[in-house]
Chain A
Amino acid sequence: MALTAALGSEQMDALNKCKVLMVGAGGIGCELLKNLVLTGFTDIELIDLDTIDVSNLNRQFLFRKEHVGKSKAEVAKESALKFNPDAKIKAHHDSIFSSEFGLDFFKGFTIILNALDNRAARNHVNRMCLAADIPLVESGTAGYLGQVNPIKKGVTECYECQPKPPAQKSFPGCTIRNTPSEPIHCVVWAKHLFNQLFGEEDPDEDVSPDTEDPELTADAGKAALDAEAKKDAIGGIERKSTRAWAVETGYNAEKIFNKLFRDDIKYLLSMETLWKERRPPQCLDFHDLPGKGNQSLSVRSTDVWSVQECADHFSRCVSKLKQDLAGRGDNGMLVWDKDDHHAMDFVTSVANIRAYIFGISLKSGFEIKSMAGNIIPAIATTNAIIAGVIVMETLKILAGKLDKCKQVYLNRVPNDRKRLLVPCALDPPKPKCYVCSSKPECSVRLNTSKVTVKTLQDKILKGHLNMIAPDVEIDDGKGTILISSEEGETEDNEEKFLSDFNVGNSTRLKCDDFLQNYTLVVIVVQEEKLEGDAEFEVVGDMSECHPAEDEAATSTNGVSSSAKQTTDEDDDLVVLDDLEIDDTKQAGVENSESRKRPAEDLEPPVMAKRRAAEGGDSEDVIEIS
């Protein structure tokens, strides 16, 4: 066999015995499956919940147009079998979070290869691999950049050893509701409006003017409110939900338009303090809009629509979305999806109308989709290179040469030492990692009399600490159960505050996730008030306590100006933030400035890291100039 000769018989033996699990069959996954099958892996299982979309076809080469809508896992398997019909491939069109894929499932594999596109799944697989003590090769790409990261329990850092900046950049409510200054602020507002009108109502996504804007003195806001209350404008500033009001008007596009873009703006204008040093917004009337009289309605996603065109698209989309909503029955709701044309056009038109009002530049539907859909650009070549590197690292792990494994970064341009692919030594586990250390602990700053048990469960443990179904017990000597993963057991606790259970400063909460085989002690740090009115802040080890880092999120990609505020939930996320933090660590300073380094500046930290890690290798270190 040619392959045996090329790889050597020892490597081939290891490979023949290997049972590999691939998590994800998207951009990296398609390339990886091809490489695995051709390199002689014959026992492969793959999991992917996703179905094929047209926008995948520029890079996910195992899929074709006729496969759109079908399971990625299934089609990838069928296509890859053509490369080698003797390979044994099992496809699961399912979620990796499913309890079907528990510890025993993971223990059945020799190695796990991640080809994922979101952090939640990466965290989960990381924990499963730690619990099962199976080596994991983690990977990610974004545009031209990519990385591969071999992980082995007790030997290397785990995926969660380094804290990651927040997945999504958030903006202060008053910026979104009162004083937008960037296109993204209008896009966020438009998405909130979609949810208010057609989706799940979230009080945090209010779209009406915010009278509690800290810039307003209490008096000014109140005066405006009082003045407005006297007016009997339709849908003025009644304390009624936007949804209820819209339903009453029968989703009349003109009425909705005039409320949002005329009456609410008038009201905003009455908050005069806001406009002392800002350009005041400009009210619009549905029947008198810029661009009126142009006959043809542009539908091209690369054009920037006039305000009149936006209003026309708005009317069209509202009536269509109203129908869609009606089709969901009573209490039905729509979920915003960037690939739903009406939902997308709704956001494009609303964001642009609002942008016009506030003197912000208008954007094409194509650009707005990037922002609203958190789209990370993705190309075939980067995925091919990274999938190639994954297999190179996998071969070393299977041959028992973990010591030869590297973290490998793909740069956009070669660094000062000519490297396009930059190999870095693997770091040992972080002793205080709240996931892979022997007794995981982390501190959470919060106000126990304001945080409910439900918030603890949904936002902190599931949302932030990535547990799937936590059981929580107070370490108070009595073993009070706060949250049970069994349905119906602790529902009554949900709306109560933590202080109702005598949870206070230094209380230890034992949080256990059965599926992940993971127990974490959460230490409560009582704080009356947090920066930026945050509900809580997870600080890992208290000694690393530092202020919230909003801006860190903007630097995670450095890929395209349009994908700036995003990181998660689309294609092939890269986790370049590791690098920035490495830099901080190498420099030996906890300097928040250096963590904001954009990904474009990849080389310096890598160099620093490599110099430190392989200091003895003089061949490689001397000439940096």
Chain B
Amino acid sequence: MEVGDNMETITEDEAELYDRQIRLWGLDAQRRLRAASILLIGLKGLGAEIAKNIILSGVKAVTLMDPNNIDEEDKMSQFFVSNAPIGQNRAVASAAPAQLLNPMVKVTADASDPSNKADDFFAQFDVICATGCKNSLQCRLDNLCQEKKIKFFSGDIFGFYGFMFSDLGRHEYLHEEIKKRKKDDDDKEDEGVTVTREVSNFSRLEDELKFDWTADTPGMKKKIRQTPSAFFITRVYEEFLELHGRRPSVATMEVDSKELQNLRILILNKLGVPAKCIPEDFYKYGFGELSPVCAIVGGVLGQEIIKAVSQKDAPLNNFFLFNGINDEGMVDKISL
């Protein structure tokens, strides 16, 4: 993301194509976007949404990485391959339709397993976004990213639920505020834009998940009550993924439902939070990836990648949690 004086100005063609967004975030932000290389791991429904959003925005390059093959569930949310034959590699099959969205972005596919990649591989990217990955892999990549000053994101969708996590390390950005000013000569108000340079500090995913909820204080009770339900709910699914190496599946719905109910108790005990934090019937709404939920979380996540790269506007720090059962879309930081 080197943005120096030698960076080329935006061409007239680009100005025309990106007109409506440049009017929102400005030319400098667009220039920074054009210099960014992004690794996107996981090309299920959420991954497809993120890929679409960042490719449209005009980043430099996007590498789509997924070791898995297209399955039945992709039909309900992965629009790049929803009509492709089952069994092809997801990343490879997605690359061509993804490329069509914007010929100015370099789109490549990689069918390898991210957990088998050496640390050095990741150093070539400005942003790494891991979707559909086990918690352990998310934490490893996050730590690696902080070491190499790479912006890290992760996220996943389970039916009606979804989350996004971001760790931008120490992130500097420009904050614009439109302020009304009284003009001296008459009563008219004038609006001026003030730009300030701000810093936001992020924590590691590892530390967020280690947070101790057990203190028996009014403050902690309040915190638990204010923490979005989707945080606790998605913990259960992450646990499932970690233990079984796969997501709950429609094909094994009955068994998986039982296991999810067991894991609910396990998570509640592990965190030491009250039972009401995870509704008992939560598991009924967590199969597959619903397209509109992917669109919502993928929209937020895509925008956060754009913000991180363009260094424009305050980033969400650090979870975005969506619960489609009650339309809740909340931002929270677990550790204080």
Contact = CB atoms under 8 A, between A and B. Distances in A.
Nearest to B84: A82
Contacts of A387: 292, 295
B240 to A, nearest CB: 16
B123 interface: no
B306 interface: yes
A328 B15 CA distance: 31
A421 B329 contact: yes
Interface stretch (B70-78, B133-141, B208-216): B70-78
Interface in B94-115: 100-103
Given A381-B302, A420-B329, A389 B292 contact: yes
B295 A384 contact: yes
A58 B332 contact: no
Given A6-B76, A384-B298, A392 B18 contact: no
Interface string B32-73: 000000000000000001001100111000000000000011
B82 A385 contact: no
Interface stretch (B20-28, B144-152, B259-267): B20-28
A543 B24 CA distance: 40
Given A6-B250, A561-B178, A55 B20 contact: yes
Given A3-B75, A558-B178, A389 B83 contact: no
B50 to A, nearest CB: 10
A38 B291 contact: yes
Contacts of A392: 292-293, 296, 324, 327
A131 interface: no
Contacts of A382: 299, 303
A562 B77 CA distance: 37
Given A55-B20, A301-B12, A381 B82 contact: no
A3 B291 CA distance: 10
A594 interface: no
A102 interface: no
Q: How big is the B interface, by class?
A: 35 or more
A35 B83 contact: no
Given A2-B288, A6-B290, A598 B17 contact: no
Contacts of A34: 79, 291, 295
B320 interface: yes
Given A55-B19, A406-B327, A418-B332, A61 B83 contact: no
Given A414-B316, A421-B327, A35 B302 contact: no
A615 interface: no
Interface in B214-236: 222, 225-226, 228
A490 to B, nearest CB: 44
A619 interface: yes
B21 A378 contact: yes
Given A5-B253, A392-B292, A58 B19 contact: yes
Contacts, number: 203
B20 A385 contact: no
Given A39-B292, A384-B298, A2 B76 contact: yes
Interface in B115-170: 159
B287 A5 contact: yes
A59 B295 CA distance: 13
B330 interface: yes
B322 to A, nearest CB: 8
A6 B288 contact: yes
Interface in B294-336: 294-296, 298-300, 302-303, 306, 313-314, 316, 320, 322, 324, 326-332
Contacts of A389: 292, 296, 327
Contact of A563 (B21, B23, B159): B23
A6 B287 contact: yes
A564 interface: yes
Interface residues of A, number: 73
A598 B180 CA distance: 10
Contacts of A418: 226, 228, 330-332
A380 interface: yes
A58 B58 contact: yes
Contacts of B180: 598
B24 A391 contact: no
Interface in A360-398: 366, 370, 375, 377-385, 387-393, 395
A277 B184 CA distance: 13
Given A5-B253, A385-B300, A302 B10 contact: yes
A420 B178 CA distance: 20
B24 A381 contact: no
Given A2-B287, A302-B15, A389-B327, A381 B320 contact: no
Contact of B295 (A300, A385, A395, A408): A385
B186 to A, nearest CB: 9
Given A366-B15, A561-B191, A388 B24 contact: no
Nearest to B24: A377
Contacts of B324: 392
A138 interface: no
Interface string A46-62: 00000000110111010
A395 B327 CA distance: 12
A269 interface: no
B16 interface: yes
Contacts of A7: 290
Contact of A39 (B58, B253, B291, B306): B291
Contacts of B178: 558, 561, 598, 600
A146 to B, nearest CB: 10
A559 interface: yes
Nearest to A551: B189
B182 interface: no
A619 B101 CA distance: 44
Given A55-B19, A58-B57, A414 B331 contact: yes
B150 to A, nearest CB: 21
A390 B49 CA distance: 16
Contacts of A388: 291-296, 299
A293 interface: no
Contact of B291 (A385, A391, A414): A391
A222 interface: no
B328 A144 contact: no
A301 B328 contact: no
A280 interface: no
A37 to B, nearest CB: 8
Given A55-B17, A381-B306, A419-B328, A61 B101 contact: yes
A345 interface: no
Interface in A402-458: 406, 408, 412-414, 417-421, 423
A39 B75 contact: no
Nearest to A80: B79
Nearest to A278: B185
Given A58-B21, A382-B299, A619-B225, A83 B316 contact: no
A379 B24 contact: yes
B284 interface: yes
Contact of B100 (A64, A302, A559, A562): A64
A54 B101 CA distance: 13
Interface in A1-22: 2-3, 5-8
| Residue among B17, B320, B328 having the largest count of chain A Cβ atoms under 10 Å | B328
Q: Which 10 A-B pairs have the closest CB atoms?
A: A421-B329, A388-B295, A377-B24, A385-B299, A6-B288, A391-B292, A38-B291, A384-B299, A388-B296, A388-B292
15 contacts: A5-B253, A6-B250, A35-B291, A38-B75, A38-B82, A39-B292, A55-B20, A84-B75, A301-B12, A391-B295, A414-B331, A418-B228, A419-B328, A421-B322, A423-B326
Interface of A: 2-3, 5-8, 31, 34-35, 38-40, 54-55, 57-59, 61, 64-65, 82-85, 143-144, 277, 300-302, 366, 370, 375, 377-385, 387-393, 395, 406, 408, 412-414, 417-421, 423, 558-564, 571, 598, 600, 619, 623
Given A38-B76, A302-B10, 12 more contacts: A5-B288, A7-B290, A38-B79, A39-B292, A58-B17, A59-B21, A64-B100, A378-B20, A380-B299, A389-B296, A418-B226, A623-B222
